[in-house]
Each structure stands twice: as C-alpha cells, then as structure tokens.
Amino acid sequence: MADYKPTEMMTIAAARSLKNDDICFVGIGQPSAACNLARLTHAPGITLIYESGTLATKPTVLPLSIGDGELCDTALTTVSVPEMFRYWLQGGRIKVGFLGGAQIDKFANLNTTVVGPYDKPKVRLPGGGGAPEIAISCSEIFIIMAQGKRSFVDKLDFVTSIGHVSGGDSRAKLGVKTKGPTKLITDLAIWAPDPETREMTVVSIHPGVTREQIQENTGWPVKFAATVDETPVPTAQELEVLRELHARTNRAHAAA
Amino acid sequence: MARITKLSEAIAGAVQDGDTIALEGFTHLIPHAACHEIIRQGRKNLTLIRMTPDLVYDQMIGMGCAAKLVFSWGGNPGVGSLHRFRDAIENGWPHRLEIEEHSHAAMANAYEAGAAGLPCAIFRGYIGGDLPKVNAKIKRVTCPFTGEELAAIPAHRPDVAIIHAQRADRAGNVMIEGVLGVQKEAVLASKRSVVTVEEIVDELPERSLNAVVLPHWTVGNVVAVPGGAFPSYAQGYYPRSNSFYKQWDEIAKDRDSFHAWMKTNVLDKGPEAFAQYARKHKAAAE
C-alpha cells in the first residue's frame, strides 16, 4: 500500500468526484488542489472557473490568491467580477461549487464568519466571500474539510452559507431549487445526504480509518449508511501528480 | 475631466476626513501606493468600501484611518488572517471599527448599481443565512412580474474611488487589462476618482476592439506611479509577490512590528519607492 497523508487522501477523493464535463466554481486551497488534480489526471476537459472572473483556466501551479496572474494567463477569457456573479453564477451556468469552512453542522450548513457571538467574536474569520450565493446557485455543492470536534459542530456560531438548512424539505421551502451539498469529503471519510432527512451520512471510509475515529472527530452522533464502502487507496499516479503539483507550486511561491 | 497630477496632490484634493472611499482591485492592480499616501496624509474617520479588504485596508485600519468597513471577505488570500482587521474587531484596537458585512455577489451588484445610477441592487441571494440578521441594509423585494423574492441592498455611491491600472494616455483615458474586478464600476459609481497607472503614454497601445477603457471624462485624477500595485501585481508589468503576502502575516501579527514596518516603509517613504519594489521583485521572479 502506498504511503500517503490523510490530507492527500482527502484531495484525491475530492478529485475523483469530478467528471471530465463538469463546470466547477473553484475556491482557493483544497478545492483548487482537487480540481487541478482532476484536470491533470482523469478529467482533462474539466472547466475551472475562479471568482476573479477567469473562465476555463488551466494553471500550471496552484494560485495563492483567487486572482493570481497565472489564472488569467491560462484562461479562455476573463470577465469582470459583476459579470462573473450575475451571468455565470446567478445565471445557473455552474454545475459544481466547492466550499469549505471553519465550522460545519450535520446538515452541511457552513460558518466562515465568526467563532463566538457576531458582535463580540472570539475569532473574527474572513467572512462569506462568494459562499452565500455559490451555496444556492451551483447545481450541486461539494465540501472539503478536515474533521475535528471544533469544526464539525452540533450548532454553528453563525450560518454563513446554507446546506440542507434544518433537513427534510427545508432547503426547498426557502425557494432554493438547486441540490445543495451532495458530497462532503474529509480526511477520514466521504459523506452524502440521507435521501429523506438530508442529514450528512458516512457512505465511504478511507482505508485504515475506523468508525470510532470518525465519531471522535465529529460533534454530533454520526449516522452511517446501510452499506458503507471503503475508499480506494490513492494510486501511485494520483500521488505523483498531486505531489508534483504541490512541489511546483511551492517553488513558484517561494521565488515570487 | 481627467487631470494628470502628482499622487500627494491627487489624494489631498480628492480624499477628505470622513469620506466614503473605495480602493478596488480584485487581487490584481490593488492601489498600494495610493493607500500609503492616504496614511501619510493622516486621513481619519473614513468609511472604507472594498470586496476584499486585503493588506491595504489592514494597513489603514491599523493606522487608525477607518471608522467603518464595508466588505465581503476579510482575509489574507491563501495565507490566513488579516491581523489588524481582526484586532480592530476583536479588541477595538486602535479604536472601534463599525462593520457592514456583505457577500461578494452583493458587493459586485452594489457597485454595478452605483455605476448604472440606480438606488439599489437586486439579485438572487442571501437566502437562509445569518448575514441579513446582522446587516439591516439587506432587504427583500418581490419581483412584480413573477412574484419571486429577491435580495436588495443600497447601491454603492462612494465619494472617491481609487484604482490602479496599467496605462493612461496624456488625455487621461485609462486602459485596464487582465483580472478586471470591479474597478470600472467603482470609478463610474463614485463622485471623484484617483487612478494611478504604471505609465502614461502618448497613445494607448494596439488593443482589442472591446478593450476596457475608462474615457478621460469619467476619470478625476491620473497619476503615474510605476510599481504602484506592489505587492499586488500589474499584468504585463510584474507578478504578484506571493512571498510578501506571506511575510505580511508575521509583520502584522504584532502591534509593534506593524508600527515599525509602517514607519520605515510608509511614513518615511514616498510613492517613488514602488518602482524599485516592483523592479526588484520582477527580476527575482524571472
């Protein structure tokens, strides 16, 4: 079995969920790594869109910021930010949106705003950015987050962007027609919403991870699907391409 | 009508204490030199509008220029926190900072509405989350044709927009290339404007028929400040200094090291320093 880190398993599992004909709204960090890994392995035709307005971009190194010159240089075209949010995101032209956050609850609602009360925060986080509208406008949402008791919480301090709200048909009742989070990919497992309750449920466990470990790193009682798969181990090719991508990126960011 | 001038004169003429100002540039073309000039001139009580406060507003907040911040994402991109922004909100240092928080879509729509001369922006957004509970300016309107409920927020109408661009010609026509952000909208939405550019040329270069150009009669002040976006970047001139964005995390973490850096690099320097920063950085990156 190949030697790999849990975060590498997370990125690789996320990359595998993407298809060649997907059109993705990509965030910085883990989502960007996963999307570009997919593009460099099984999904060369994938369309990657960053909110800086760069459409169908093919960066050689991962951008540090959402609007690095690399994204613009390798894009099919670059549009203004109002056009990006109005025509492309709100217009319903994006299939998969990637999100992450500081906190997530069992219905995959996310907090990236504050820890503690809004008016007197213990930690002021960056805030929503594009997330509130990405969460409702993309056909479906994939979430990538490492698990832990402080991030997988029973109750969010602030709802920055909605997932399945309070479960059942509560999302649809708000008038939102898109699917919301269909996948939650962590360093331990892959989760998907229960068809009825919409609670995020473990559907695949990464190799070597136990159910107890998943529970220990989750702030609510974890539901497991009737059939739980084992996530296939990263292939040598997946690991090689991902590590080369990160090495190229680190060299580029250190130089500039 | 565009006036070609010096940075100190442009800022002194355009930015007054208590103004609402917007320094824009979405990662690209962030007007760092103009930000430093505002700090040197000691402007106070400003309302700062910007989608991503970035290092420029971290610096202005830490130096006590800001009374209020209107924003949608306050981090150091790819690095982590903006420490001066956090210190102001979490601890009221150097003084209390009022915030009006939006999403990116809302901010982009509000600039566009301002440019279009509309009183408000209408879009599909802010559904189900908590931002409308903490920002009284987020309202809902019903579409008179379909009955759909949409979000509405007031248009951005800043007193001053400040942007950086690649070039202007001698009449003050400004050309922008690359990641465009909301700069065109910010200038058109504002009463006054300051545009710093990499260079002022006799004639704008050969360009696409649909190039983004702000005509001289929509622009207030034009100032040549080569390197004026550093450590942000100017497509075609110099790349982003990702390493400086990482260094900023250490500089800004501590109040004293922040002040020491600001004294050496802002208070005791002038806009001419930027040409050298960009030149050195470009050479190192190649």
A49 touches chain B (CB under 8 A): no
Q: Are B231 and B199 in contact (CB under 8 A)?
A: no
**Pick from B26, B127, B212: CB nearest A176:** B127
- Pick the closest to residue B56 from B86, B78, B24 (CA basis): B24
Residues in B closer than 8 angstroms to A29, CB to CB, are 78
| Residue B194 dihedral angles phi and psi, to the nearest 5° | -130, 125
Mean pLDDT over B189-195 rounds to: 98
Calculate ∠ Cα A9-A15-A20, nearest 5°: 160
Residue in chain A nearest B50 by alpha carbon: A129
- In chain A the domains, ranked by start, together with CATH numbers, are 6-255 (3.40.1080.10)
Mean pLDDT over B273-277 rounds to: 96
Residues with Cβ within 8 Å of residue A131, at least 6 apart in sequence:
A99, A101, A110, A112, A160, A161, B103
| Annotated active-site residue in A8, A51, A199, A238 | A51
Tell me if B128 and A64 make a contact (CB, 8 A cut-off): no
Q: Helix or strand or coil: residue B88?
A: helix
- Pick the closest to residue B177 from B150, B198, B191, B159 (CA basis): B198
Tell me if B178 and A175 make a contact (CB, 8 A cut-off): no
Any bridge partners for residue A204, and if so which?
A: A190, A229
DSSP state of B217: G
- For residues B104 and A66, what is the distance between their CA atoms, to the nearest angstrom? 13
- For residues B148 and B44, what is the distance between their CA atoms, to the nearest angstrom? 42
Mean pLDDT over A86-103 rounds to: 97
pLDDT at residue A255 tops 80: no
Q: Mind listing the pLDDT tens digit for each residue in B112-165?
A: 999 999 999 999 999 999 999 999 999 999 999 999 999 999 999 999 999 999
CA terminus-to-terminus distance, chain B:
39
What mean pLDDT is reported for chain B?
97
The per-residue pLDDT for A65 is 84
What mean pLDDT is reported for chain A?
96
Mean pLDDT over A61-65 rounds to: 88
pLDDT at residue A1 tops 80: no
pLDDT band at A256 (very low <50, low <70, confident <90, very high): low
Q: What is the ipTM of this complex?
A: 0.96
Mean pLDDT over A184-202 rounds to: 98
At how many degrees (to 10) do helices A30-40 and A6-16 cross?
Answer: 60
Mean pLDDT over B209-221 rounds to: 96
Residue in chain B nearest A116 by alpha carbon: B90
Tell me if B103 and A129 make a contact (CB, 8 A cut-off): yes
Residue B267 Cα, gap to closest chain A Cα (Å): 26
Is B133 buried (19+), middle (13-18) or exposed (0-12) by CB count in 10 A? Answer: exposed
- For residues B60 and B46, what is the distance between their CA atoms, to the nearest angstrom? 9
Tell me if A253 and B246 make a contact (CB, 8 A cut-off): yes
The per-residue pLDDT for A121 is 97
Tell me if A53 and B86 make a contact (CB, 8 A cut-off): no
Tell me if B130 and A158 make a contact (CB, 8 A cut-off): yes
Q: Are A82 and B108 in contact (CB under 8 A)?
A: yes
184-243 of A, contacting B, C-beta below 8 A: none
Any bridge partners for residue A143, and if so which?
A: A99, A184
Q: Quick one: what percent of chain B has pLDDT higher than 90?
A: 97
Residue in chain A nearest B210 by alpha carbon: A79
CA B283 to mean position of chain CA atoms: 26
A178 touches chain B (CB under 8 A): no
Q: Mind listing the pLDDT tens digit for each residue in B23-32?
A: 999 999 999 9
- Pick the closest to residue A105 from A164, A172, A27 (CA basis): A164
DSSP symbols for A119-175: SS-SEE----TTHHHHHHHSSEEEEE----TTTB-SS-S--SB-SSTTSTTHHHHTT
Residue A1 Cα, gap to closest chain B Cα (Å): 32
The per-residue pLDDT for B267 is 98
The per-residue pLDDT for A29 is 84
- In chain B the domains, ranked by start, together with CATH numbers, are 3-102+157-285 (3.40.1080.10)
Mean pLDDT over A138-164 rounds to: 98
Q: Quick one: what percent of chain B has pLDDT higher than 70?
A: 100
**Is residue A216 flagged as an active site residue?**
no
Mean pLDDT over B27-54 rounds to: 98
pLDDT band at A90 (very low <50, low <70, confident <90, very high): very high
Tell me if B128 and A86 make a contact (CB, 8 A cut-off): no
148-167 of A, contacting B, C-beta below 8 A: 158-162, 165
For the record, the structure tokens of B183 come out as: 């700069």
- For residues A189 and A181, what is the distance between their CA atoms, to the nearest angstrom? 15
A174 touches chain B (CB under 8 A): yes
Residues in B closer than 8 angstroms to A175, CB to CB, are 127, 148-149
Calculate ∠ Cα B239-B245-B246, nearest 5°: 125
Residue in chain A nearest B112 by alpha carbon: A82
